[in-house]
């Protein structure tokens, strides 16, 4: 629902801020006071086109902002829509929408602080507000919405059938996708086969094994530093063994120390312990020197081996760039490529199988479409009767209303089956039924919309409904009926209505008055919420104009009591 509406520099509005309420709200005021500007501003906020002439004279830009809440059964879908546009949904279900438009034609639109396009704003707006009047923001003017509304009206039986149908349709589309992949253009198919064979041959020729790259890197590192390794181990061996012949080696010195200690080891347990330790060191150094010599003698630089290893590393890195970050990834790619190649090479068999499965799936879907068509026709009759009754109450007894259902299997399956649904209308008996979008009269349009909304009040998901001068050309009796129906719809929706009829205004939960005044040579629009005697005086004005009569005063009180 709409919680707050702020308008700045739009037409004769300098700045207003309206706090909207739940239930049924009316807006009244003298002609030219600015009631229609409120609707124009709201339309701008919902993504409709705006004219530069809408900007207040003397101002460079206009600004409209609305705070909405969208707590409803469709929260998840609406959140998904917001997220698809890069808009972060709020935990409390609030939505702050703003639009600034300038004389140069620039538009700045934001939703929850995120910049959006006018098109995105319009898509969001259709989920939040339905405006009925001489405007283009009416969901019921979009024929594609009619089948959705009819299906919701039809109830659980059709909903269950439709869910099964849509699940089957997804399976059919999956089968068709597989078939297209197999039966693509012959040249494309051959090209795919060639690419797969090349990839398979390239990977298999490499004869990779997991861990090979790590092993090669280690060998390459040793070969790269082989001179340093040989030098280090040679020096270590010389210092341990003393092969240079100039000085006693470390082992010689350990031996001399051991001989000296052995001569006195029996004199004291501590001497014996030192002797044992020296013997252990002597043995370990002897073993260590032997290991150092072996490594020294076995280490050599082989340029051919080094070159082969580097080439192998380069090969593996090239394969990683093409097929995966690790050897394991490359081998997994190889397996997938083999499976896909096998599938394509066996495509004739698979194509035949898939075509049979598609044929069976389509037969099943056609049967489900027939069932849905029957359920829709049953629901359409009930909907027609209900709407015609509502229109009769609204002084449109000669009106014709029909739910047209055309089965078009030749056009293929859609999310809703093979039916096309459109609401048709004629204001007078004998005149040709036409789509709702062809209705010329704004008053007629609004009453038809109200009749439809009354019947569909429980299932229509759009939270806020705006009716702009719905009472044009109706009598007082019809206006009372209009008010009753607006109150009925307002049990499930926020309803905002601009009206000139006291019979409607008196039934509202909330009443705003739009006035204009002159200040410093400029005309300004003001908004005031009416209560008590102020509201009674406005109802009197609607009944009798500027000259209040006793009869008008009495009737105003009666209407407010009844409302």
Q: pLDDT tens across 357-399, in order?
A: 999 999 999 999 999 999 999 999 999 999 898 888 877 888 8
184 — pLDDT class (breaks 50, 70, 90) = low
Q: Where are the beta strands (DSSP E) in 2-117?
A: 2-10, 13-19, 24-29, 61-69, 94-102, 107-111, 114-116
pLDDT value for 247: 62
Candidates 494, 514, 488; CA nearest to 393 is 488
Last-in-domain residue among 338, 362, 386:
338
Q: Are residues 108 and 4 in the same domain?
A: yes
8 in any annotated domain: yes
Do 7 and 127 lie in one domain? The reply is yes
Dihedral angle at the C-alpha atoms of 438, 443, 448, 453, nearest 10 degrees? 120
Task: State the residue for tokens 């706090």.
Answer: 19
Please report which helix (H) or strand (E) contains residue 219, including its range.
Answer: helix 212-224
Inter-CA distances, 287 with 251, 254, 290, 296, Å: 11, 14, 5, 14
Residue 64 has a pLDDT of 96
Q: Which of 314, 338, 362 is the last residue of a domain?
A: 338
Domain membership of residue 35 (yes or no) is: yes
Question: Which has the closest alpha carbon to 559: 547, 80, 41, 541?
Answer: 541
Q: Same structural domain for residues 125 and 220?
A: no
Q: 112-116, 323-327, 478-482: which has the minimum mean pLDDT?
A: 478-482
pLDDT in tens, 204-213: 999 999 988 8
What's 68's domain CATH number?
3.40.50.300
Burial of 110 (0-12, 13-18, 19+ CB in 10 A): middle
Residue 480: pLDDT band (50, 70, 90) is confident
Residue 147 belongs to a domain? no
Q: Is residue 253 part of a domain?
A: yes
Q: What's the pLDDT at 312?
A: 87
- Residue 232, phi then psi, degrees to nearest 5: -65, -45
Domain count of the chain?
2
Lowest mean pLDDT segment, chosen from 9-18, 186-195, 355-364, 509-518: 186-195
- Residue 72 confidence class, pLDDT cut points 50, 70, 90: very low
> Is the pLDDT reported for residue 503 higher than 60?
yes
Provide the pLDDT for residue 73: 46
Give the mean pLDDT of the chain: 85
Q: Which helix (H) or strand (E) holds 477?
A: helix 476-489
In Å, the largest CA–CA distance within the chain is 141
Question: Is pLDDT at 431 greater than 90 in this prediction?
Answer: no
Range of the domain at 524: 1-133+465-530
Burial class (CB in 10 A: 0-12, 13-18, 19+), 437: middle
User: Is residue 122 domain-shared with residue 242, that is, in the same domain?
Assistant: no
In this structure, what are the phi and psi dihedrals at residue 123, rounded to the nearest 5 degrees? Answer: -65, -40
Question: Within a domain: residue 314?
Answer: yes
For residues 216 and 327, state if they share a domain. yes
Residue 87 Cα distances to 4, 46, 112, 119, angstroms: 20, 16, 7, 14
* Residue 118 shares a structural domain with residue 232: no
User: Residue 426's pLDDT is what?
Assistant: 87
Lowest mean pLDDT among 232-246, 432-446, 527-541: 232-246
Highest-confidence segment of 80-94, 180-194, 280-294: 80-94
3-state SS string for 407-473: ECHHHCCECCECEEEEEEEECCCCCCCEEHHHCCCHHHHHHHHHHHHHHCCCCCCCCEEEEECCCCC
In this structure, are residues 486 and 507 in contact, taking their beta carbons and an 8 Å threshold?
A: yes
Contact yes or no for 391/427 (Cβ under 8 A): no
What pLDDT is attached to residue 168? 95
| For range 218-241, the mean pLDDT | 73
Q: Considering the domain boundaries, does residue 289 fall inside one?
A: yes
Q: 295 or 551: whose pLDDT is higher?
A: 551
Q: Say what the pLDDT of residue 127 is.
A: 87
Q: Which residues contact 129 (CB under 8 A, 6 or more apart)?
A: 2, 42, 46, 137, 462, 463, 464, 465, 466
CA distance 404 to 145: 13
**pLDDT beyond 50 at 137:** no
Question: Has residue 391 been placed in a domain?
Answer: no
Taking residue 353's Cβ as centre, other Cβ atoms within 10 Å add up to 13
3-state secondary structure of 553: helix
Question: Which residues, including other chains, have CB under 8 Å from residue 448's CB and lie 6 or more apart?
Answer: 391, 396, 399, 401, 425, 436, 439
Q: How many angstroms separate the CA atoms of 2 and 463, rounded?
A: 9
pLDDT of residue 135: 46
Global pTM exceeds 0.75: no
**261 located within any domain:** yes
312-316 long-range CB contacts below 8 Å, 24 or more apart?
312/216, 313/213, 313/216, 313/217, 313/220, 315/206, 316/206, 316/208, 316/212, 316/213, 316/216
Question: Residue 41: which pLDDT band, with cuts at 50, 70 and 90?
Answer: very high
| Predicted pLDDT at 512 | 94
Q: Which of 317, 338, 359 is the last residue of a domain?
A: 338
331 in Cβ contact with 342 (< 8 Å): no
């Amino acid at each position: 629902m709409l919680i707050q509406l702020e308008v700045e520099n739009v037409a004769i509005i300098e700045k207003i801020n309206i706090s909207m309420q739940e239930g049924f709200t009316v807006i009244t005021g003298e002609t030219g006071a600015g009631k229609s500007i409120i609707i124009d501003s709201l339309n701008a906020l919902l993504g409709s086109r705006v004219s530069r002439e809408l900007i207040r004279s003397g101002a460079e830009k206009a600004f409209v902002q609305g705070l909405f809440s969208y707590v409803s059964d469709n929260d998840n879908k609406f959140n998904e829509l917001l997220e698809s546009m890069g808009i972060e949904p709020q935990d409390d279900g609030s939505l702050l929408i703003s639009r600034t438009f300038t004389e140069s034609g620039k538009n700045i639109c934001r939703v929850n602080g995120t910049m959006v396009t006018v098109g995105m704003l319009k898509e969001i707006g259709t989920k939040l507000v339905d405006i009925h009047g001489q405007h283009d923001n009416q969901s019921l003017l979009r024929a594609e919405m009619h089948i959705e509304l009819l299906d919701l009206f039809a109830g659980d039986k059709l909903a269950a059938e439709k869910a099964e149908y849509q699940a089957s349709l997804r399976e059919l589309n999956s089968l068709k996708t597989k078939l297209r992949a197999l039966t693509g253009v012959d040249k494309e198919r051959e090209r795919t086969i060639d690419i797969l064979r090349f990839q398979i041959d390239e990977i298999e020729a490499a004869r990779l094994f997991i861990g090979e790259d790590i092993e090669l890197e280690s060998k390459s590192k040793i070969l790269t530093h082989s001179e340093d390794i040989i030098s280090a181990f040679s020096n270590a061996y010389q210092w341990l063994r003393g092969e240079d012949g100039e000085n006693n080696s470390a082992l010689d010195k350990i031996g001399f120390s051991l001989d000296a200690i052995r001569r006195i080891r029996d004199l004291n347990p501590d001497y014996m312990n030192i002797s044992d330790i020296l013997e252990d060191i002597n043995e370990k150094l002897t073993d260590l020197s032997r290991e150092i010599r072996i490594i020294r003698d076995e280490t050599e630089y082989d340029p051919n081996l080094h070159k082969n290893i580097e080439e192998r590393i380069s090969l593996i890195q090239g394969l990683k760039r093409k097929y995966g970050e690790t050897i394991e990834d490359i081998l997994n790619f190889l397996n997938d490529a083999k499976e896909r190649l096998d599938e394509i090479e066996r495509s004739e068999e698979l194509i035949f199988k898939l075509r049979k499965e598609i044929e069976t799936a389509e037969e099943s879907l056609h049967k489900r479409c027939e069932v849905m068509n029957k359920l829709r026709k049953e629901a359409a009759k009930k909907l027609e009767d209900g709407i015609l009754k509502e229109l009769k109450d609204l002084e449109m007894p000669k009106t014709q209303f029909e739910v047209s259902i055309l089965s078009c299997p030749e056009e293929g399956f859609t999310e809703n089956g093979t039916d096309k649904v459109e609401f048709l209308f004629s204001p007078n008996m004998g005149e040709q039924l036409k789509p709702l979008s062809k209705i010329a009269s704004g008053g007629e349009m609004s009453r038809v919309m109200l009749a439809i909304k009354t019947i569909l009040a429980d299932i229509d998901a759009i939270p806020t409904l705006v009716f702009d001068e719905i009472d044009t050309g109706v009598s007082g009796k019809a206006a009372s009926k209009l008010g009753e129906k607006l109150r009925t719809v307002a049990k499930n929706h926020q309803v905002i209505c601009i009206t000139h009829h006291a019979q409607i205004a008196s039934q509202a939960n909330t009443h705003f008055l739009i006035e204009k005044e002159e200040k410093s040579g400029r005309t300004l629009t003001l908004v005031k919420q009416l209560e008590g005697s102020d509201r009674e005086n406005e109802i009197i004005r609607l009944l009798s104009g500027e000259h209040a009569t006793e009869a008008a005063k009495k009737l105003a009180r009666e209407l407010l009591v009844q409302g």
